[in-house]
Structure 1
Amino acid sequence: MDQRLSFLTLAVADVGRSRDFYVDGLGWRPIFEAEGEVIMLPVAERLILSLWSVAGFTAEIGQAPASGVAPITLSHNVATEAEADAVLAEAAALGAEVRPAVRREWGGYSGYFSDPDGFRWEVAVNPGETGDFVLPPT
């Protein structure tokens, strides 16, 4: 199996509300939408963030998603601390719960915001090798 991720699917309570946040609020551009069911957003070369209704997710997977804080974070790396602060301020202006960025013991600078369904996004300046990596050839 190739070492790659093609889709990251999140089950969301209200696709329209998620669209308002990601598309109308953050300015992301969808490549596919089925109103009320799913919205697909390209987030990297060959990686799609799919925001899928809980009902559709449950029907296909066969089990409803767990409730509460998901044990996952998504990360959006930026080049400067000012950019990190600006992204967090933008998320706050959209009503997101925000944890302000601070300098981290690993050498970076990061903070967090929650999307409308509580998925946590880290906004980070990552000075290490993982900040701008390329997969090694197979």
Structure 2
Amino acid sequence: MDQQLHFITLATPNLETARRFYHEGLGWDALLDVDDEIIFYQVAPGLLLGLFEAGKFAEDQGVTAAPGISGITLSHNVASPQEVYRTVGAMAAAGANILKQPQQGKFGGIFHAHVKDPNGVVWEIAHNPGWRITETGDVVLG
């Protein structure tokens, strides 16, 4: 199997709340938006984030209820600590809850914050001076 991911799909308890947060609040444009079903956002070259209505997510998997989101963060890396503050502020203004205010991290030399979107997805907004993101979206470590 190739070492690649093409979709990250999350069960979403309230698709309309997700739509308002990501589109209206953060200004993201959907690649595909199917009412009452799923929204796909292009988040990197070759990678989509799918927000799938929880009942239909469960039906698609053949289970009675979609599992909750646990033990996962989606990370967005930015160019400076100031940009961490700006991004967290924009997310909070769009309806997210700040779980951890911007601060120096305990691990890896990063400056970061944690924010929970209105459907419970936890985002880490981080600046790591030892990492960089290229114009093509590749992550360069060290």
SS at match of 1:48: strand
Counterpart residue number, 2:117: 115
Measured in 2, the distance between the counterparts of 1:33 and 1:117 equals: 17
Measured in 1, the distance between the counterparts of 2:48 and 2:95 equals: 24
Aligned-pair distance for 1:66? 2.5
Counterpart residue number, 1:89: 89
- How many residues were matched structurally? 132
Equivalent position amino acid for 1:111 in 2: A
Aligned-pair distance for 1:104? 1.7
1:44 aligns with 2:39: no
Measured in 2, the distance between the counterparts of 1:48 and 1:30 equals: 10
Structure 1: runs of 5+ lacking an equivalent: none
SS at match of 2:30: coil
RMSD of equivalent CA atoms: 1.3
Measured in 1, the distance between the counterparts of 2:38 and 2:66 equals: 16
Q: Which runs of structure 1 show a deviation greater than 4 angstroms over 4 or more consecutive aligned residues?
A: none
Contact preservation (8 Å) 1:14, 1:36: no
Q: 1:32-111 maps to which residues of 2 (within 5 A)? A: 32-63=32-63, 64-67=65-68, 70-98=70-98, 99-105=100-106, 106-111=108-113
Contact preservation (8 Å) 2:75, 2:126: yes
TM-superposition CA deviations, 1:35-81 (whole Å, max 9, x none): 111110000001000000011101111122234x5110000000011
Measured in 1, the distance between the counterparts of 2:61 and 2:130 equals: 37
Counterpart residue number, 1:126: 128
Equivalent position amino acid for 2:130 in 1: G
Contact preservation (8 Å) 2:11, 2:67: no
